[in-house]
Structure 1
Amino acid sequence: MKSHASTLLAEVRTFRQNHPDVRYVDLIALDIPGHFYGKRYPIEMLEKVAAGSPLKLPQNAVLLGVQGGLFKIGDYCFNDGDPDANRRLVPGTLKPVSWESQPLGQMLITSDGTEAPIEFEPREVLAKVLERLQHKGIHPVVAFELEFYLFDKKLDNGLPQFARDPLSDDADDQPNLHIERLSRFGDVLDDMAQTAKDQGIDITVITAEIGPGQFEINFGHLDDGMRAADWAALFCRSTRGVALKHGYRASFMAKPYLQYPGSGMHVHVSLYDGAGNNLLAAHQQQPLRHAVAGCLELLPHCMPIFSPNHNAFRRLGGTVNAATRASWGFEDRDACVRIPESDPRNLRIEHRLASADANPYLVLAAILVGLEHGLEAKREPIAPLNEDRSSGTDFPLEMLDAVRAMQHQPVLRDKLGAEFVDVYCENKRQDHLAFQQEINAREYRWFL
C-alpha cells in the first residue's frame, strides 16, 4: 500500500513539474449511462490524495439517469441518506486537458480496489469479471473501435446540421467512404488523434465512414481489458472537447439520422492462457465455436447494455451492417459476432452489436461473460451466416422487453452480480419511462 501511494505521489509531482501552469485537475468516473461525473481538485489537494488522504464522492452519483436525475431504485437515493463512498486514483491516468480554455488536468477515479467497492459501478463490474477470468487462467486481449458523427456546432431548432466542409464551406451531406474526407477534415481529426495520444491512448486506423460526417477510430490491442475500456471512455470525452474547439459537435449518438447508418462500438476480443497460447484456436477452433455459442445465448439478455437507450434501438436493422437477430459469421459484417480472417495466433471475435454511446466497461464485461459462459457450457452454435443467411435468434428490440429479458437471467445475475443487474435494469426502465413523456426533439437533446 505504501509503495502504491509512493507511485501515485511521484506521478502527481512529475505532472506538476511538466505542467506548472495547471492549477486544477478533474477527477472523473463513468456513471451507469456512460457520462463522466466527478470533482475539480486543486493540484495541491491532489498531492494529498495521492499520499493517502481519503477521496470520497456520493455513492449514488453512479445511479444518475441520462439527464442527471435520481431515480428511486430500491433503497438507494431516497432512503439511504445519500452516503459517500471511497474512491481511489487510477495510476497512469493523470494527463493534461488541452481542449479547455484554461490549462487543466484530468485523472480517472474508481471504487474498485477500495475496501468497499460500489457493486453497481461499471468499472467495478468489469474488474470482477476480469479478476475471475484471471483466476481461471484466461487472459483477454481487447481492442475497441468507435464510430461517431461530426455536426455543425450550432443546432437548428434542436436538430443537428451537417458538418461544414472546411474547403468549400458547404454542408458535408454526401455519404461516402472517400479518403478525401479525411483530408478535408484533417485538422480536427489530427487534433483528435493527437489529443487521444496525449491521454495515453493508442490510436491506429482512422476511416471516413458511410454516413455524412461519420468517422471511425480504431485503438490498439491491449492485454489489459480495463485499460482498453478506459481508452474508449476517455476518447469520447476528449473527442467531444476537441470538436467544439474546432467549431464542430462530435456525437456518439447511436442513430442521429434515420436515413444514414448509425454509429457502433465494435469490440475485438481474443483469449490466451498463461503461456500465451490462443485458447480460441485450440482443438481445430472448437473453443471458438463454444465461445460464439455462449455470446449468442446471452446476447438477447444483454440488450439493455448493448443498446442503452431508446435511440440506440433505432440503429438495429434497416441500414448497413446492423443486425436485428443474434448471428455470427466468418468475415461477415452483417453478423453480431464476426470472426475476422486471421492466423491462429490472432484468432478473435469481433462483437459488433453495441452502439457507440454504450458504456464500454459494461459492454466488455457482457462480452467476456458470454465468452466465459460458452467455454464452460461447450455447446455448438447455430449455423453461421456463411452457411445460412437466415440463421439467427431473436432479441428484444424495445427497452422494456429488453430489461425484462435481462433482469432474471441467472448467468448474468451470477457473473455480473445480482445487485448490479437489478440496479442497472431499474435505471434503464426509469430512464425509458421518463423519455416517453416527450417525443421528437428530446431524442436529440438527450443523446446528441
Structure 2
Amino acid sequence: MKNHSSTLLAEVRSFRQNHPDVRYVDLIALDIPGHFYGKRYPVEMLEKVAAGGPLKLPQNAVLLGVQGGLFKIGDYCFNDGDPDANRRLVPGTLMPVSWESQPLGQMLITSDGTEAPIEFEPREVLAKVLERLHHKGIHPVVAFELEFYLFDKKLDNGLPQFARDPLSEDADDQPNLHIERLSRFSEVLDDMAQTAKDQGIDITVITAELGPGQFEINFGHLDDGLRAADWAALFCRSTRGVALKHGYRASFMAKPYLQFPGSGMHVHVSLYDGAGNNLLAAHQQQPLRHAVAGCLELLPHCMPIFSPNHNAFRRLGGTVNAATRASWGFEDRDACVRIPESDPRNLRIEHRLASADANPYLVLAAILAGLEHGLEAQREPIAPLNDDRNSGTDFPLEMLEAVRAMQHQAVLRDKLGAEFVDVYCENKRQDHLAFQQEINTREYRWFL
C-alpha cells in the first residue's frame, strides 16, 4: 500500500509541476448507462488522497438512469440511506484537459481494488472477469474501434443538423467513404486525435464512414483489458469536448438517422497463455471454434449490454453490417462475430454487435465471459456465414424482452455476478419504461 501511495503521490506532484496553472482536477468514473460522474477536487487536496487519504462518493451514483434519476432497485437508492462507498485513484490516468475554457485536469477513480468494491460498478465487473481469466492462465489482448457522427453545434427544434463542410460551408449530407472527408474535417479530427494522445490513448487509424459526417477511430491493442476500456470511455469524453470547441457536436448515439448506418463499437480480442502463445490458434484453431460457440450462446442474453437503450435497438438490421441474428464468419462484416484474416500469432475475434454508446467495460466483460464459457464447454459453433448465409440464432430486438433473457441466464449470472445482473436489468427496465412516458407527435397523428 505504501508503494502504491508513493507512486500516486509522485504522479500528482509531477502533474502539478508540469501544469502549474491547473487548480482543479475532475475525479471521474463511468456509471451503468455509460456516463461519467464524479467530483471536482482542488489539486492540493488530490495530493492528500494520493497519499492515502479517504476518497468517498455515494455508492448509488453508479445506479443513475440515463437522465440522471434514481430508480428503486431492490433496497438500493431509497431503503439503504444512500451510503458512501470508497473509491481509489487509477494510477496513470491523471491528465490535462485541453477542451475546457479554463485549465483543468482529470483522473479516473474506481471502487475495484478497494476493501469493499461495488459489485455493480462497470469497471469492477470487468476487473473480476479479467482476474478470473488471469488465474486460469488466460491473458486477453484487446483493441476497441468506435464510430461516431459529427453534427452542427446548433439543433433544429431539437433535431440534429448535418455537420457543415468547413471548405464549402454546405451541409455534409452525402453519405460516402471518401478520403476527402478526412481532409475537409481535418482540423477537428486532428485535434480529437491529438487530444486523445495527450490523454495517453493510442489512436491509430481514422476512417470516413458511410454515413454523412460519420467517422471511425481505432485504438491500439493492449494486454490490459481495463486500460483498453478506459481508453474507449475517455475518448468519448474528450471527443465530445473537442467537437464543441470547433463548433460541432460529436455523438456516439447508436442510430441518429433512420436512413443512414448506425454507429458501432467493435472489439478485437485475442487470448494468450503465460508464454505468449495464442490460445485460439492451438490444435488447428479448435479453441477458436469453441470460443465462438460460447460467444454466440451468451449473445442473446447480453443484448441489454450490447444495445443499452431504445435507440440502440434501431441500429440492428436493415442497414450495413448490423446483424439481427447471432452469427459468425471469416472476413465477413455481416456477422456479429467476425474472424479477421491474420497469421496464427494474431488470430482473434472481432465482436461487432455493440452500439457505440454501450458501456465499454460491460461490453468487454460480456465478450470475455462468452469466450471463457466457450473454452470451458468445448461445443462446436453453428455454421459460419461463409458456408450458410442463413446461419444464425435469434436474439431479442426490444429492451423488455432482452432484460428477461438476461436476468435469469445462469452462466451469465455466474460469470458477471448475480448482483450485477439483477441491478443492471432493473436499471435498464426502469430506463425503458421512463423513456416511454412521453406522448410524441406521431401518436397524436395516428390516434387523435
TM-score, L = length of structure 2? 0.98
Cα distance 1:95–1:443, how it changes in 2: closer, same or farther (>3 A)? Answer: farther
Cα distance 1:174–1:444, how it changes in 2: closer, same or farther (>3 A)? Answer: farther
Give the gaps of 5 or more residues in structure 2. none
**Are 1:330 and 2:330 counterparts?**
yes
Cα distance 1:284–1:445, how it changes in 2: closer, same or farther (>3 A)? Answer: farther
Deviation at residue 443 of structure 1 after TM alignment: 15
Deviation at residue 442 of structure 1 after TM alignment: 13
SS of the aligned residue for 1:321 comes to coil
SS of the aligned residue for 1:151 comes to strand
Q: In the alignment, what sits opposite 1:297? A: 297
**CA displacement 1:237-265 (0-9 Å, x = unmatched):** 00000000000000000000000000000
CA-atom RMSD, angstroms? Answer: 2.7
**CA displacement 1:210-241 (0-9 Å, x = unmatched):** 00000000000000000000000000000000
**Are the aligned partners of 1:26 and 1:39 in contact in 2 as well (CA < 8 Å)?**
yes
**Are the aligned partners of 1:26 and 1:38 in contact in 2 as well (CA < 8 Å)?**
yes
**Are the aligned partners of 1:159 and 1:444 in contact in 2 as well (CA < 8 Å)?**
no
**CA displacement 1:347-387 (0-9 Å, x = unmatched):** 00000000000000000000000000000000000000000
CA distance in 2, matches of 1:411, 1:104: 43
Cα distance 1:75–1:151, how it changes in 2: closer, same or farther (>3 A)? Answer: same
CA distance in 2, matches of 1:301, 1:365: 13
Deviation at residue 438 of structure 1 after TM alignment: 1.8
Aligned residues: 448
**Are the aligned partners of 1:129 and 1:365 in contact in 2 as well (CA < 8 Å)?**
yes
Deviation at residue 446 of structure 1 after TM alignment: 24
SS of the aligned residue for 1:147 comes to strand
CA distance in 1, matches of 2:380, 2:372: 14
Deviation at residue 204 of structure 1 after TM alignment: 0.1
Cα distance 1:443–1:114, how it changes in 2: closer, same or farther (>3 A)? Answer: farther
CA distance in 1, matches of 2:221, 2:289: 22
Cα distance 1:447–1:235, how it changes in 2: closer, same or farther (>3 A)? Answer: farther
SS of the aligned residue for 2:262 comes to coil
**Are the aligned partners of 1:158 and 1:444 in contact in 2 as well (CA < 8 Å)?**
no
**CA displacement 1:307-366 (0-9 Å, x = unmatched):** 000000000000000000000000000000000000000000000000000000000000
**Are the aligned partners of 1:254 and 1:357 in contact in 2 as well (CA < 8 Å)?**
yes
Cα distance 1:345–1:301, how it changes in 2: closer, same or farther (>3 A)? Answer: same
Cα distance 1:202–1:3, how it changes in 2: closer, same or farther (>3 A)? Answer: same
Cα distance 1:325–1:155, how it changes in 2: closer, same or farther (>3 A)? Answer: same
SS of the aligned residue for 1:217 comes to strand
**CA displacement 1:105-141 (0-9 Å, x = unmatched):** 0000000000000000000000000000000000000
CA distance in 2, matches of 1:390, 1:404: 26
Cα distance 1:176–1:439, how it changes in 2: closer, same or farther (>3 A)? Answer: farther
Cα distance 1:276–1:395, how it changes in 2: closer, same or farther (>3 A)? Answer: same
Q: In the alignment, what sits opposite 1:42? A: 42
CA distance in 1, matches of 2:311, 2:342: 34
Cα distance 1:49–1:441, how it changes in 2: closer, same or farther (>3 A)? Answer: farther
CA distance in 2, matches of 1:446, 1:28: 44
Give the gaps of 5 or more residues in structure 1. none
SS of the aligned residue for 1:145 comes to strand
**Are the aligned partners of 1:311 and 1:443 in contact in 2 as well (CA < 8 Å)?**
no
**CA displacement 1:69-94 (0-9 Å, x = unmatched):** 00000000000000000000000000
**Are the aligned partners of 1:66 and 1:446 in contact in 2 as well (CA < 8 Å)?**
no
**CA displacement 1:148-195 (0-9 Å, x = unmatched):** 000000100000000000000000000000000000000000000000
Deviation at residue 439 of structure 1 after TM alignment: 5.2
Cα distance 1:444–1:242, how it changes in 2: closer, same or farther (>3 A)? Answer: farther
CA distance in 2, matches of 1:447, 1:83: 46
**Are the aligned partners of 1:337 and 1:350 in contact in 2 as well (CA < 8 Å)?**
yes
**CA displacement 1:425-445 (0-9 Å, x = unmatched):** 000000000001125599999
Q: In the alignment, what sits opposite 1:421? A: 421
**Are the aligned partners of 1:304 and 1:428 in contact in 2 as well (CA < 8 Å)?**
yes
Cα distance 1:31–1:395, how it changes in 2: closer, same or farther (>3 A)? Answer: same
Q: In the alignment, what sits opposite 1:198? A: 198
Runs of 4+ off more than 4 Å: 439-448
Q: Where does 1:137-216 land on structure 2 (aligned, <5 Å)?
A: 137-216=137-216
CA distance in 2, matches of 1:320, 1:437: 31
CA distance in 2, matches of 1:85, 1:447: 48
Cα distance 1:446–1:141, how it changes in 2: closer, same or farther (>3 A)? Answer: farther
| Greater Cα shift, 349-358 or 431-440 | 431-440
CA distance in 1, matches of 2:358, 2:313: 11
Cα distance 1:151–1:408, how it changes in 2: closer, same or farther (>3 A)? Answer: same
CA distance in 1, matches of 2:93, 2:444: 31
Cα distance 1:29–1:188, how it changes in 2: closer, same or farther (>3 A)? Answer: same
CA distance in 2, matches of 1:198, 1:410: 42
